[in-house]
Amino acid sequence: MYNSISNTGIIGKKVVYLPSCHSTNDIAAELVHQKAFEEGTVVITDNQTGGRGQRGTNWSSVTGMNLTFSILLKPKGVPIMEQFLLSQTVAIGLVTGLKELGLVATIKWPNDIYIGDRKICGTLIENSIQGGGIASTIAGIGLNVNQLDFGAIRATSLALLSGKKWSLQQVFEVLLIAIDKALLRLYAGEVDAIRSLYRDKLLGMNEIRGFKVQGQLMQATVVGVTAQGRLLLRTLQGSVLEMDLKELQWLWEH
């Protein structure tokens, strides 16, 4: 069971806890369909059996070891063409929350959270478009907290990095407060600040990295993103490429 959060502006006032479910994003989508939610409602489970990641991948989590939850939003005022701002806002909140827990994290485009070259948190942002605007947003988040074994997956956790076991409720509260602060900045119109913070925290920013682009190996530097969320890469020859998620694969040294 997880407690609601009192010292936030929007997020976590209502927390829906399920001991087990297929996907918190799916449950959140049902609440949206039924029009039965307040903005900032959080759906959380200890056992997510069918979590989804980017590109339709599965998100696997050991029962009771990690945080798997979804936040429901009604982001009025965010243009459809700039809906990537919501992804940026959530990512900034997660990086800020992890900093408060003592960890320096970066954002692997578009919105995975990494410590060094290992993934600690994945997010899946699903927007519902209606009447020319964004009617609702579901931000699904999976953070590795106390899990110690990830097999061959390039991942890490708070426990692996710190050598101690963490209170899930404590980490949950820190993350929600940080995401809430970032969201309030977005709602206050601080769009340039959101974009700047996101850019500063991008993994590979101003670093030469290896990539596989449309089947070809290359070295390039991350130099930012477009307003629509496409990654900007500068090749060693000086040209700048705009990349979509399906066009790009990161290459790791180990």
Question: What CATH number has the domain bearing residue 236?
Answer: 2.30.30
Do 176 and 243 reside in the same domain of the chain? Answer: no
- Report pLDDT for 52: 61
Do 57 and 25 reside in the same domain of the chain? Answer: yes
Judge contact between 96 and 178, C-beta under 8 A: yes
- Report pLDDT for 254: 59
Do 157 and 230 reside in the same domain of the chain? Answer: no
**Helix %, strand %, coil % of the chain (to 5):** 30, 35, 40
Do 195 and 235 reside in the same domain of the chain? Answer: no
Do 109 and 70 reside in the same domain of the chain? Answer: yes
Q: In a 10 Å sphere around its CB, with 0-12 CB exposed, 13-18 middle and 19+ buried, how is residue 136 labelled?
A: buried
Q: Which residues form the domain of 181?
A: 15-200
Global pTM value = 0.94
Do 174 and 221 reside in the same domain of the chain? Answer: no
pLDDT in tens, the chain (254 residues): 799 999 999 999 999 999 999 999 999 999 999 887 899 999 999 998 876 655 455 555 788 999 999 999 999 889 999 999 999 999 999 999 999 999 999 999 999 999 999 999 999 999 999 888 899 999 999 999 999 999 878 999 999 999 999 999 999 999 999 999 999 999 999 999 999 999 999 999 999 999 999 889 999 999 999 999 999 999 999 999 999 998 999 999 75
Could you give the C-alpha distances from 156 to 147, 149, 152, 201, in angstroms and in order?
8, 8, 11, 18
Do 193 and 219 reside in the same domain of the chain? Answer: no
**Into how many domains does the chain fold?**
2
Q: Return the ∠ at Cα 27 (arms to 131 and 173), rounded to 5°.
A: 100
Judge contact between 139 and 123, C-beta under 8 A: yes
- Report pLDDT for 76: 82
- Report pLDDT for 60: 58
Do 84 and 162 reside in the same domain of the chain? Answer: yes
